[in-house]
Structure 1
Amino acid sequence: MCLYYTPEHAKVGDVIPFFDRRSGRFENFYLKNWNPDAPREQVVHGWHRMSGAWPDQIEETPVHILGGTGSVVEMDGTYHLFYCTFDDNPQRQWVRHAISEDLTHWHEVGEAFGPDSSIYEPTDWRDPFVFWNEDERCWWMLVAARRRACSGRNGCVGLCVSDDLLHWRAEGPLYAPDIHPAAYECPDMFRMGDWWYLVFSNYTDGFATYYRMARSPLGPWVRPAIDTFDSRAFYAAKTGSDGHDRYLFGWIPTRGENTWGFDPAPEYGADYRTWNWGGSMVVHRLVQHADGTLGTAPCADLAARMDAAPSRPVRLTPVQGTWRTEGDGITGHAEGFAAVAGCPMPGQGVLSTTIRFTGDPVRFGLMMHIDASLTDGYYLQFDPRHQRLEWRSGLRMHERGGQLFPYAVEMERPCVLEGGRDYLVEVVVDGDQAHLYLDRDYAFGMRLYDRRPGMAGWYVEGGTLDVLRMGVTAFGIDA
């Protein structure tokens, strides 16, 4: 059993969600990035179709679309697929169109088209996202683009419109804030209630999937205080709806191919290698708040499995500092550092804890795969003073970690943290990856490649932490 789909000898790249009204289920596609050691006779490049709900039930079919990210829509019984291709010397990018009756066999229609050079740069014109805009009564195509501008900070979401899916007219950018010096990749747009949402990914001046919100499909676009869905280890996410819930399909990257030659010496460990393009598919369910902002929860299938499996209570034992036991909970207070440990880390399962902090702690958090010395392992740190979550790998505790990282923070994401209230912390573990869900409304993904057998526990630094209850749910071989 697997919780997050990873193809054999390959990585999941950009996912193209499509909910098929004929079958009543998602018939998604993705860009398959084969590993360097994949058996040559198995390699089929291009788009692959995924059929099946649960990750270990997915069956793949290559559809022989050789190109980059796009989208699929259905009109009058015919499926339409839009994708992009790339030229060199000179560098150009093109949008292409194919049709099908069965989602597997496709043939091209029309001619490839590039950007209007009076509006957009010719080098970036990719990832077409097509949808019927009910407000405007026409088809819209969003494109990852860069507009003509006076500086290199010209990444934008381009816009084309059509009445028939065949003939397209370029308009000015839908969104052009002049922040990022690269195209806004994998654009996606949808309406939920009274709000429109624009989703895109970017890898310059940050590395994440972002969103903006507006009352109209034409904007103006509002940037929410927390404008991401997950950590840095989540990219190229696009959304799809089954008519009831809307889901966010992205990938958590693997490590190890050293594509850019940046990796340190092998003895430092796999946690310190650079990220690959693609990895394991991660699916979140989007949660809409009263003010229109969005949160991220486990997808329906994963949430059902989390709720159905029995949870075993964990008895936490003080390891360092002063702790006081009260009923099922334990409270720690420390001027310095206090820690408790409880259960071995599951290979596949869920660590579930209800916590509360009071006062003004410097930080507190969950320790994973921790050893008896509390120096080897992983730390998922809650940082109320900076209103963020931070991920720290084991090597950060040692001198060579300080030499390797010439910066203070390894991986972080903003998070609103309020003292005196209860938080439900659920960490889903699946081998070398883990995903935090906070109150089933906030997500933070991470990789754990250099994990060793060890314990899970909690710590607090310079403050007070109540661990009200903790349990472990084991799946698969740990059950």
Structure 2
Amino acid sequence: MSLFYTPDHAKVGDVIPFFDRRTGRFRNFYLKNWNPDAPRDQVRYGWHLMSDIHADAIEDTPVGIYGGTGSVIDVDGTYHLFYCVFDDKLHRQWIRHAVGDDLVHWKDVGEPFAPDESMYEPTDWRDPFVFLNEDEGCWWMLVAARRAGGGDRNGCVGLCVSDDLTHWRCEAPLYAPDLHQSAYECPDMFRIGDWWYLVFSNYTDGFATYYRMARSPRGPWLRPPLDTFDSRAFYAAKTGSDGTDRYIFGWNPTRGENSWDFDPAPEYCADYRTWNWGGSMVVHRLVQHADGTLGVAPAGDLPGVLGRADGATAVEPVPVQGDWRHDGDEWTGSGDGFAAALGCAMPATGYLAATLEYEGEPARFGLMLHADERLSDGYYLSFDPWHRRIEWRSGLRMHERGGQLFPYAVEMERPFAMEAGRRYRVELFVDGSAAVMYVDRDLAFGMRLYDRRPGRIGWFVEHGTVRVSDVSVLGL
């Protein structure tokens, strides 16, 4: 049983969400990135169609589209598919249009669509996202692009408009902050209530899927205080709605192919290899706040998959270091240095939940994963109130080689403002090396755990006090 879909001998690349109203279900496509050791007789390149979005039931089918990310719409009984193609020799990219009566068989129509070079660089013109802008009564196409002219910090979301899905005219970029050097990949746009949302991914300076918000489809676009959906381990995410909820589909990258020749020596462990392109599919459900900003919660299929197993088991922490006391199912740990308590064995696939509350101003507190009884190995999901962030630390950081390897203080982080005395519900879904933590079903933090050893879950606090309660674990 799997929580985060990873194809056999391959990785999930960019997901192209499509809710098929003819069948009332998601029929998503994705770019399949085959592993180097994949059996040659099984390799089928290009777009693949998913049979479902539930990770434990997915089958995928190649559909004969050979190119990059795009979008699919259903208009008057015909499916329309837009995608991008590349010419590496000419350093150009084009957009193509295909049609079909089903979702498997496609026929290209028209000529490849190139940009107006007075507005856009021809080297970056990809990932078309097509939708009907009802406010303006025409079709819009968003494009991952770079604005022509000026310096190299010209990544943007390009805009084209059409009345018939065939003839397109370029307009000025929809969003061009002159901030990043790469095109804004996998653009996506949708409306919830009075707010419009623009979603895109970028891999220069940062590596994440971002969003902006506006009262009008033309902007001006506002940057929310927390403008990402997940950690660095979530990319190329696009959204889709079933008419009730909106979900965002991305990938948690695997590691180990050393595509960029950046990997450290093998003895430094798999957790420190560079990220691959593609990995395991991760799906979040979007949550809109009263001020229009967005959070994320587990998609409905994750609790559903886990709910088909035996019920969760309550766990009682066992103190290992520091001062711990308990009252019923509530445990309080404190110490001038490091206080820690261990629970049950860490499940290979399953679910961990706990409620955490801190007092005063601890340096850090949070979860330990795959921890040993001497606290010398393990992973740490640290809540850092002083720096207003969640921080991820993997096992090597605790050892001398970690100090030799890392020239930086933080391995992976996400902003998170915390309050003393407030209770936070923490849920961790883990599937082999892939894991995602949710806080209050509103914030997500994805990660990979490659060098996991047989170990236990646990809780800790540094220079302060933490309260742990309502702990349960479900292993599959």
**Deviation larger for 8-17 or 410-419:** 410-419
Q: Distance in 1 between matches of 2:286 and 2:192?
A: 10
Alpha-carbon contact 2:315-2:343 (below 8 Å) kept = yes
Q: Secondary structure at the match of 1:302?
A: helix
Alignment match, 1:418: 419
Distance 1:416 1:236 in 2: 26
Counterpart of 1:443 in 2: which secondary structure?
A: strand
Aligned to 1:180: 180
Q: 2:395 is matched with which residue?
A: 394
Q: Give the match for residue 359 of structure 1.
A: 360
Q: Give the superposition deviation at 1:250.
A: 0.3
Amino acid at match of 2:88: D
Alignment-derived partner of residue 251 in structure 1: 251
Distance across 1 between alignment mates of 2:160 and 2:218 = 13
Q: Following TM superposition, by how much is the alpha carbon of 1:326 offset from its aligned partner in structure 2, in angstroms?
A: 1.1
Partner of 1:9: 9
Q: Which residue of 1 aligns with 2:74?
A: 74
**Structure 1: distance between partners of 2:6 and 2:458:** 29
Provide the rounded CA distance (Å) in 2 between the counterparts of 1:4 and 1:168: 38
In structure 2, C-alpha distance between the alignment counterparts of 1:86 and 1:130, rounded to whole Å: 19
Offset of residue 90 of structure 1: 2.2
Helix, strand or coil for the counterpart of 2:257? coil
The within-5 A match list for 1:56-205 is: 56-205=56-205
Separation in structure 1 between the aligned mates of residue 474 and residue 18 of structure 2, nearest angstrom: 32
Letter in 2 for 1:270: A
| 2:127 aligned partner, one-letter code | D
- Take 1:55 and 1:210, find their aligned partners in 2: how far apart are those partners? 24
Deviations 1:3-44 (A, max 9, x none): 111111100000000000101100100000000011111111
The offset of 1:304, in angstroms, is 3.1
For the residue of structure 1 that corresponds to 2:397, the secondary structure is helix
Q: Which residue of 1 aligns with 2:52?
A: 52
1:211-243 Cα distance to aligned partner (Å, 9 max, x none): 000000000000000000000000000000000
Tell me the distance in 2 between the aligned counterparts of 1:53 and 1:66. 22
The aligned amino acid for 1:302 is L
Secondary structure, counterpart of 1:57 in structure 2: coil
In the superposition, relative to structure 1, how do residues 60 and 307 fare at CA in structure 2: closer, same or farther (>3 Å)?
closer
Cα separation, 1, equivalents of 2:59 and 2:265: 38
Q: For residue 275 of structure 1, what is the aligned residue in structure 2?
A: 275
Matched, 1:41 2:35: no
Shift of 1:415: 1.1
User: What SS does the aligned partner of 1:366 have?
Assistant: strand
Residue identity matched to 1:295: G
Is contact 2:253–2:276 with CA below 8 Å preserved after alignment? yes
Q: 1:307 to 1:383 in 2, by over 3 A?
A: farther
| CA distance in 1: counterparts of 2:405 and 2:153, whole angstroms | 30
Give the corresponding residue for 1:436.
Answer: 437
- Segments of 5+ residues of structure 2 without an aligned counterpart are none
1:135 and 1:303 map into 2 onto residues whose CA distance is: 37
Aligned mates of 1:53, 1:407 — CA distance in 2: 38
Q: Could you tell me how far 1:184 is from its partner in structure 2?
A: 0.1
1:18 aligns with 18
Provide the rounded CA distance (Å) in 1 between the counterparts of 2:36 and 2:230. Answer: 28
Secondary structure, counterpart of 1:135 in structure 2: coil
Distance in 2 between residues matched to 1:231 and 1:245, nearest whole Å: 22
Alignment check: 8 A CA contact 2:120 2:148 kept? yes
Q: CA deviation at 1:56?
A: 2.2
TM-score (norm 1): 0.98
User: Which residue in 2 is equivalent to 1:304?
Assistant: 304
Letter in 2 for 1:433: A
Amino acid at match of 1:285: R
CA distance in 2, matches of 1:310, 1:43: 39
CA contact (8 A) 2:238 2:249 kept: yes
SS in 2 for 1:112: strand
| Letter aligned with residue 329 of structure 1 | E
Is the partner of 1:198 in helix, strand or coil?
Answer: strand
Residues 302-311 or 237-246, more deviating: 302-311
Q: Distance in 2 between matches of 1:39 and 1:404?
A: 35
Question: CA offsets, 1:181-214, max 9 Å, x none?
Answer: 1100000000011100000000001000000000
State the distance in 2 between where 1:398 and 1:452 align. Answer: 16
Residue 209 of structure 1 is matched in structure 2 by 209
Q: Is the 8 A contact 2:144 2:183 kept in 1?
A: yes
* 1:472 is aligned to 2:473: yes
The DSSP-based 3-state class of the residue aligned with 1:56 is coil
SS of alignment partner, residue 472 of structure 1: strand
| 1:346-390 deviation per Cα after TM superposition (whole angstroms, max 9, x unaligned) | 111111001111111111110000012212110001011111111
Deviation of the 1:148 alpha carbon:
1.7
Matched residues in 1 for 2:414 and 2:179: separation?
19
Q: 1:382 is aligned with what amino acid?
A: F
CA contact (8 A) 2:4 2:434 kept: no
SS in 1 for 2:387: coil
In the TM superposition, residue 306 of structure 1 has moved relative to its aligned partner by: 4.6
Q: Give the superposition deviation at 1:88.
A: 2.4
Preserved CA contact (<8 Å) 2:28 2:52:
no
- Listed as ranges, the gaps of 5+ residues in structure 1 are none
Cα-to-partner distance string for 1:51-96 (whole Å, 9 max, x where unaligned): 1242121111100100000000010000000000011232000000
In 1, are the aligned partners of 2:196 and 2:214 still within 8 Å (CA)? yes
Structure 1 runs of 4+ with >6 Å offset: none
Q: Which amino acid letter does the alignment assign opposite residue 157 of structure 1? A: V
2:326 match = 325
Query: 3-state SS of the aligned residue for 1:368?
Result: strand
**Counterpart check, 1:453 vs 2:432:** no
Matched, 1:344 2:337: no
On the 8 A contact 2:28/2:53 being kept in 1, the answer is: no
* C-alpha distance in 2 between matches for 1:261 and 1:342: 39
- Structure 1 residue 469 displacement after superposition: 2.4
**Residues 85-119 of structure 1: per-residue CA shift (max 9 Å, x gap):** 01123200000000000110000001101111001
What amino acid maps onto 1:450 in structure 2?
A: D
Q: Partners of 1:51 and 1:291 in 2: how far apart? A: 36
The 2-side partners of 1:93 and 1:53 are apart by 30
Q: Post-superposition shift, 1:404?
A: 1.1
The alpha-carbon deviation at position 253 of structure 1 amounts to: 0.4
Amino acid at match of 1:356: E
In structure 2, the residue matched to 1:462 is: 463
Aligned length: 475
* Residues 1:242 and 2:250 aligned together: no
